[in-house]
Amino acid sequence: MKKPKIETVCSTCCWCDKRIGENQEVLCLGSKKRPGIDLSKYEGDIMQVTMATIDKTLWAIIPTAESDARKEGKDILFTLCSDECGIELKEALNQDEKLGDIIFNHKLN
Ligand SMILES: [Zn+2]
């Protein structure tokens, strides 16, 4: 998969790939990485998260160490277009928490 621009990832729903309009609210789901996983080379950039339980690869934003997101304990950010997509992603992440390599836990804001 070709790597998209970070601006594109910030304005595209990671779950359904829908473009989020400029006047539309962008929802964000923050996840914590598993202890011992080093994402520092992705900071301020995007990375692919392959879900362990479903055949889906998502683009996630990795905030920098100085960012507010990181201060709130969010290591991985997912952009979402709607609550519906958020619920579906949360369900997938719940499964991934148990089986996946990267995601540790998550919360919707
Ligand atoms: Zn969506």
pLDDT tens by residue, 77-96: 999 999 999 999 998 888 87
CA of residue 16 to ligand 1 center, whole Å = 4
How many whole angstroms separate alpha carbon 55 and alpha carbon 30? 21
pLDDT attached to residue 102:
78
Domain that holds residue 72: 6-108
What 3-state class would DSSP assign to 24?
coil
Residue 65 lies in a domain: yes
Residue 43 lies in a domain: yes
Total number of domains in the chain: 1
Residue 32 lies in a domain: yes
- Count of CB atoms within 10 A of residue 6's CB? 14
Residue 13 lies in a domain: yes
Residue 98 lies in a domain: yes
CA of residue 5 to ligand 1 center, whole Å = 18
CA of residue 98 to ligand 1 center, whole Å = 24
Q: With bands split at pLDDT 50, 70 and 90, how would you rate the model's confidence at 12?
A: very high
Residue 1 lies in a domain: no
Mean pLDDT, rounded, for 51-68: 91
